[in-house]
């Protein structure tokens, strides 16, 4: 197929640039310097039984599949579970959550040789790809070796679909999706887009969003209470979570305006990328804010005005301590980040105009009045101030957010049923494996 040949040739030509990009990012975040061999399929050889393979690109996808992975570990303990990511932050999150209970490697670049080495060494019985990761050579190689692929928590924004439809890539993506055994779509809109790109309609089903099935965040609520005790229980606190560089300065400037009306207000900032931690701390200090950080100070105190969350995997704890959450990646055309995490904790949500990555969930929260949308960064300060000063509105938003979170559950069971069916067909596992939800879920 000509399109695949051209695609592969371009990838080979881009390899030097990919390595330079890893090195450049490694200057700011040293994890990018490590384990380069895995990017070319030189992964550890998994002996014994074939593996169950789950691919989650980065932190958000890893968080989304925690309940799924926990259930697979409990239900199929004899099969090694291989969890691949693309980013070092995703790798760190895997280690933090699962430790040595899973095998982690980086997914190789989509080069035929690298893909063959990866599949030969990892020997997957089944591949579970999370959300939107379409790699033609990987998918076609899996089909050629009889490895069924399931796209779990599948989502495809209108913007992403337009990108995939560019000629000549359209035919290659259609061929790629024809190799997928099952698409477990988050919403009817996602299902329709996958079918339009080329997935077989009989293999696409709307199962819902796995992020609704995260375990009840009781630990985060308890930790949130302890955090508030440390910095002052009565203080009004807002969090800017998963922020990107163009959003961070407006957030800090907004807090300066808020302090003029609420002098003891506290801002928590959790930059999306670790390489931004020090830059945000510096920017806040330059503006005259009294700054503390999670890594150096562990907790804010009564005098702290801005607290930088410069650690990974703790965001839920701080959502549990906040009165209001602005979820980043939405004031700029990134597409937004996970609004369900604060909603599940009853934390009212603010988003910017760009939420195409979580369009359906965001729309549900907006319709239920559990969230508000900002049209521009200039609206951040007055909107946050108004909500911080209106406890009744925050409480109403909180109740609505929790209700949306509870209603949306069930995607996990539906996804697990399909996984069990594919595994039975592939390995001869007994049907009784479908019937029992593992206690470790």
**CATH number for 75:** 3.40.50.11720
Tokens of 395: 């409480």
Looking at the fold, whether 56 and 162 belong to one and the same domain comes out as yes
Looking at the fold, whether 126 and 247 belong to one and the same domain comes out as no
Rounded alpha-carbon distances, angstroms, from residue 167 to 13, 72, 226, 332, 418: 20, 39, 55, 27, 33
**What range defines the domain where residue 64 resides?**
2-208+410-434
Rounded alpha-carbon distances, angstroms, from residue 346 to 130, 218, 378: 26, 12, 25
Q: Mean of the per-residue pLDDT values for the chain?
A: 92
Q: Which positions are catalytic? A: 61
Which residues partner with 81 through β-bridges?
52
Looking at the fold, whether 119 and 202 belong to one and the same domain comes out as yes
Spatial CA neighbour of 89 closest among 280, 270, 351, 319: 270
The pLDDT value given to residue 216? 64
Cα separation, 373 vs 376, in Å, equals 9
Looking at the fold, whether 195 and 272 belong to one and the same domain comes out as no
The pLDDT value given to residue 429? 52
Instruction: State the average pLDDT over residues 136-142.
Output: 97
Q: 193-199 — which CB contacts under 8 Å span 24+ positions?
A: 193/156, 193/157, 193/158, 193/161, 194/151, 194/154, 194/156, 196/161, 197/156, 197/161, 197/164, 197/165, 197/170, 197/173, 198/173, 198/174
pLDDT at 431 over 90: no
Q: How many residues does the chain have?
A: 441
Looking at the fold, whether 141 and 285 belong to one and the same domain comes out as no
* DSSP letter string, 115-150: HHHHHHHH-EEEEEEESS---HHHHHHHHHTT--EE
Looking at the fold, whether 129 and 268 belong to one and the same domain comes out as no
- The CATH number linked to 248 is 3.40.50.2000
In a domain, 439, yes or no: no
Contact (Cβ atoms closer than 8 angstroms) between residue 113 and residue 41: yes
Looking at the fold, whether 416 and 403 belong to one and the same domain comes out as no
In a domain, 14, yes or no: yes
pLDDT at 130 over 80: yes
Instruction: State the average pLDDT over residues 20-30.
Output: 81
Contact (Cβ atoms closer than 8 angstroms) between residue 4 and residue 115: no
Greater pLDDT, 160 or 237: 237
Phi and psi dihedrals of 45, rounded to 5?
-80, 125
Per the structure, the count of domains in the chain is 2
pLDDT (tens digit, 9 = 90+) per residue, 141-176?
999 999 999 999 999 988 888 888 775 678 899 999
pLDDT (tens digit, 9 = 90+) per residue, 194-233?
999 999 999 999 999 998 998 767 788 889 999 999 999 8
pLDDT (tens digit, 9 = 90+) per residue, 242-285?
999 999 999 999 999 999 999 999 999 999 999 899 999 999 99
Looking at the fold, whether 156 and 84 belong to one and the same domain comes out as yes
Instruction: State the average pLDDT over residues 357-373.
Output: 95
The pLDDT value given to residue 330? 98
In a domain, 263, yes or no: yes
Looking at the fold, whether 115 and 24 belong to one and the same domain comes out as yes
Cα separation, 355 vs 236, in Å, equals 26
**pTM, rounded to two decimals:** 0.84
Residue 427 banded pLDDT, cuts 50, 70, 90: low
């Amino acid at each position: 197929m000509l399109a695949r040949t051209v695609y592969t040739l371009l990838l080979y030509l881009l390899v030097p640039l990919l390595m330079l990009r890893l090195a450049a990012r490694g200057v700011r975040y040293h994890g990018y310097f490590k384990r380069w061999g895995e990017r070319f399929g030189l992964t550890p050889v998994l002996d014994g039984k074939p593996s169950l393979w789950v691919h989650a690109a980065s932190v958000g996808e890893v968080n989304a599949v925690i309940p799924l992975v926990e259930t697979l570990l409990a239900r199929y303990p004899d099969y090694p579970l291989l969890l691949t990511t693309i980013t070092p932050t995703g790798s760190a999150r895997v280690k933090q959550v699962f430790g040595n209970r899973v095998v982690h490697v980086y997914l190789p670049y989509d080069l035929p040789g690298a893909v063959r080495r990866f599949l030969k060494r990892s020997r997957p019985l089944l591949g579970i790809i999370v959300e939107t990761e379409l790699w033609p050579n990987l998918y076609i190689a899996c089909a050629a070796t009889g490895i069924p692929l399931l796209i779990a928590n599948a989502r495809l924004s209108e913007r992403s679909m337009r990108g995939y439809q560019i000629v000549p890539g359209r035919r290659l993506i259609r061929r790629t999706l024809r190799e997928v055994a099952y698409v477990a779509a988050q919403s009817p809109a996602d299902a329709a887009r996958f079918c339009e790109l080329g997935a077989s309609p009989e293999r696409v089903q709307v199962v819902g969003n796995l992020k609704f099935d995260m375990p009840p965040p009781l630990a985060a609520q308890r930790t949130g209470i302890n955090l508030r005790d440390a910095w002052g229980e009565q203080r009004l606190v807002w969090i800017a979570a998963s922020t990107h560089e163009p959003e961070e300065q407006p957030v800090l400037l907004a807090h300066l305006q808020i302090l003029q009306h609420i002098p003891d207000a506290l801002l928590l900032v959790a930059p999306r990328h670790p390489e931004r931690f020090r830059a945000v701390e510096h920017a806040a200090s330059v503006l005259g804010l009294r700054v503390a950080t999670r890594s150096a100070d562990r907790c804010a105190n009564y005098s702290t005005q801005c607290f930088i969350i410069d650690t990974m995997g703790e965001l839920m704890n701080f959502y549990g301590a906040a009165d209001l959450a602005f979820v980043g990646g939405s004031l700029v055309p990134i597409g937004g980040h996970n609004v369900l995490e604060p909603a599940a904790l009853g934390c009212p949500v603010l988003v910017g105009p760009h939420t195409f990555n979580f369009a359906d969930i965001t729309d549900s929260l907006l319709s239920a009045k559990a969230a508000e949308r900002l049209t521009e960064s200039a609206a951040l300060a007055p909107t946050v101030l108004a909500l911080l000063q209106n406890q009744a509105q925050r409480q109403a938003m909180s109740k609505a957010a929790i209700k949306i979170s509870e209603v949306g559950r069930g995607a996990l069971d539906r996804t697990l049923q399909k996984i069990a069916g594919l595994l039975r067909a592939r390995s001869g596992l007994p049907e009784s494996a479908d019937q029992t939800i593992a206690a470790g879920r």
